[in-house]
Each structure stands twice: as structure tokens, then as C-alpha cells.
């Protein structure tokens, strides 16, 4: 069964449903652990810093974004870790999955950048093509 489950999470509705599935699968095996990966795009990070200089810190906003998934995992008794990666979402997720011997990668079919995904090809599609492990894409 899957022991090391990688969840790509960005706070979108699709990633929330992906999180629910990751936790359900992890509950099937007491040895399973979910690694939650959140990717910070450096281009967007600069924009966020400029727009949020006088509000809650970006670190606090990221923690708040992840609170929903971490609360569900904790409530369900599923062990998890959080990894915050820097870079473009698709390549960062692929590199992490391929470098860390992941058993299953779970990702939402659409993230927060729906229009960009439509024009350039979705992150989930890129991940499914290039990851060396099974990939579950959740609608």
C-alpha cells in the first residue's frame, strides 16, 4: 500500500478535494504519511510582498492557507509534514516527487491559476506526464 503520499496543495477547491482523498487513502494504512507540498512562485511572491507589506505576514497567510488540510489530517489521525517549495509549481512538484521516492502523488485537476492552466497546459497534466510515481488527479 501507499506509505509516502505526496499532496500538492494550493488552497483551491480542487486541491481541497485532493486533500480529502489523500487523507482517506492514508487512513487505510497506519504506516502512511502525507507530505503536503505548497509551491511559492517567486514571481508571485514579489507581487504578494508589495501588496501585503502592511498586513498579516506572508508566512502567516501561508500557514492559514494550510490550516484546513492540516486540521483534517490531525482530526483523522493521519501523520503529515509540510514542505514549502520555491519555483514554478509543475517542475517543483515533479522534482520533489522524483527525488523523494514518493509512492503516490495526489493533485487537484485545476489550481488557483485556471486561466493560465488553460492557456499553457495545466500543472496537473505536466505532473502526470513527468512524475515517476502513480499520480491521482482529483476533480
9 touches 37 (CB < 8 A):
yes
Question: pLDDT tens across 109-118, in order?
Answer: 977 654 444 4
What is the pLDDT averaged over residues 10-14? 91
CA-only gyration radius of the chain, Å? 15
In 21-134 the beta strands, taken as DSSP E runs, fall at 33-40, 79-86, 104-108
The cell numbers describing 119, all together, are: 492557456
From residue 74, how far is each of 1, 28, 62, 107, 131 by CA, in Å?
Answer: 21, 15, 18, 20, 28
Average the pLDDT over 8-17 and give the result.
93
Per-domain boundaries in the chain? 4-138
Output the CA torsion sign for 87, 42, 63, 120: negative
Question: For the segment 68-103, what is each residue's pLDDT rounded down to a tens digit?
Answer: 999 999 999 999 999 999 999 999 999 999 999 999
Quote the CATH superfamily of domain 4-138: HUPs (3.40.50.620)
What pTM was estimated for this model as a whole?
0.85
What would the pLDDT profile of 14-65 be if each residue is shown by its tens digit?
999 999 999 999 999 999 999 999 998 866 655 555 555 555 566 677 778 8
Amino acid at each position: 500500500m501507499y506509505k509516502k503520499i505526496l499532496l500538492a496543495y494550493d488552497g483551491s477547491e480542487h486541491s481541497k478535494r485532493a486533500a480529502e482523498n489523500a487523507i482517506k487513502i492514508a487512513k487505510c494504512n497506519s504506516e502512511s504519511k502525507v507530505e503536503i507540498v505548497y509551491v511559492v512562485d517567486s514571481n508571485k511572491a514579489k507581487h504578494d510582498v508589495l501588496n501585503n507589506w502592511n498586513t498579516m505576514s506572508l508566512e502567516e497567510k501561508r500557514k492559514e492557507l494550510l490550516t484546513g488540510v492540516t486540521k483534517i489530517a490531525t482530526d483523522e489521525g493521519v501523520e503529515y509534514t509540510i514542505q514549502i517549495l520555491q519555483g514554478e509549481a509543475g517542475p517543483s512538484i515533479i522534482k520533489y516527487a522524483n527525488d523523494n521516492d514518493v509512492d503516490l502523488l495526489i493533485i487537484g485537476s485545476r489550481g488557483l491559476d485556471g486561466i493560465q492552466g488553460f492557456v499553457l497546459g495545466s500543472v496537473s497534466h505536466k505532473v502526470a506526464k513527468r512524475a515517476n510515481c502513480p499520480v491521482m488527479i482529483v476533480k
